[in-house]
Structure 1
Amino acid sequence: MSRRWLIPGFFLLLAATLSACGGSARMAAPTELASVMPAWQVEQSLGAGWQDPFSFGPYTAQGFRQGWSDGKAWAFLGRDTDQAWQPFEYQVATSKGGEAWHCNCAARVSPEVLGAMAGPAKPDWPAKPSGSLACSLRSPQGILWRLALASGQETGSPMRGVLQGPKLTIAVRGTNRLEGEDSPSGQTTGYVFRVDGPLMGPVGAVQVIDPGLLWLPDSPDQGAMAAASAALLLQHHQNRK
């Protein structure tokens, strides 16, 4: 292949990328992520809605439905889960094939259920948050991760909480900031995943405003963050209906 072809081809590819993303608002993602991780853009079929499959990187979120096919999906909490409202479920598969992550969420939960989902890592949430989200995320190997988020008392304030696995707790914090803007926007623009400890700092992020973007680490915990990111994207767009 000649260099003469490569140069025009490069600019055609660049133009296509800018056409797809140019002019779109972008969350203020941590610079240490955006500078070292390529952003995966959410891809959907033309005319598809958020109830239809969507892909990002090697992952595809599919099988979305209102309600749960397994009424005992949260039996591990050991308490009444009738206080989980607006339930929905979905799966997250990879391009490598095999089994998918099975995810059961509720877009509104009682403080008791939310606290049980967060466990010992429960943040200092307000007594009456204006919004919440809780999910059980089961890996293809049957490993359970829990996602628990709540917002402040002010309507529209970003949610924050935890993504918790058997050996790792990841803080999840919503942001309403846009790249290059000093003032906050009127909606949540995305979420940042952070870990504490010797290597503390941001490890991933998901932009929930259009176009959806994800920065996820090449690590064993990538699948859990991908499954949680799908929940955050779905919850954001369901709330906009």
Structure 2
Amino acid sequence: MKSLEGKIALVTGASRGIGKGIALRLAKEGARVAVHYGGNHTAAEEVVQSITAQGGQAFSIGAKLESVAGVRQIIAALQEDLSRTSPDGRFDILVNNAGIGTSQTMEETTEESFDEIFAVNVKAPFFLVQQTLPLLRDGGRIINISSGVTRIAYPHIMSYNLTKGAINTFTLHLAALLGPRRITVNAVLPGIVDTDVNASWLHTPEGQQHAKEMSALGRVGQPDDIADIVAFLASEDSRWVTGQMIDATGGSHL
């Protein structure tokens, strides 16, 4: 039996990169996956089609996450699907993966860009958890995608780093809050991962060399490296793990 057979998962920002990898991996383990996307409907549908072509179950949800209105859109679409596919109208796994970030130093950061990144990276996950808790089954899973920059000083993306520090704190307190419901809450902290967000600099000889030198394992991270960890945290095998920040940087800057 697959480890997530009969489970229902919501993965935000799942149309590309790490989120896509997570959606595909959870579906492979038997979960029905809600593939959230912010703007690229075509990419999200391609993920859904990849899952269904392999015998899995998935559907897409489109919503911008700059405001709580977007969160409400996700909840409404999720509830509509749950009303048809879930016996009790609930789901099991929430992966807060969606996020934005720009390469801006402290001096370059504007109030507008600061507010936008906090809205998407912190405000949206907070209110998404708040409003899905009544729908999340006891014994469920919340997995937040944070970043290795909370351990490694990386000052040229300062506001992004701050948002991920907030996610780590959120994870810790949520784990304590939801423990009585047997809901585990953990964060995964990727390092440099080969996604289209990093492609402009990573797909150069210099970028590859730089990334490999940062890792103790001597290679560039792949979406599957992160997705496999998320699949473990979503499974029953991780039942005694909660409130943890799982470093997934390949030993960067050890």
After TM superposition, is the score higher than 0.5?
Answer: no
Write 1 or 2 for the structure with the bigger share of helix.
2
TM-score of the superposed pair, with normalisation by structure 1: 0.31
TM-score of the superposed pair, with normalisation by structure 2: 0.30
Write 1 or 2 for the structure with the bigger share of strand.
1
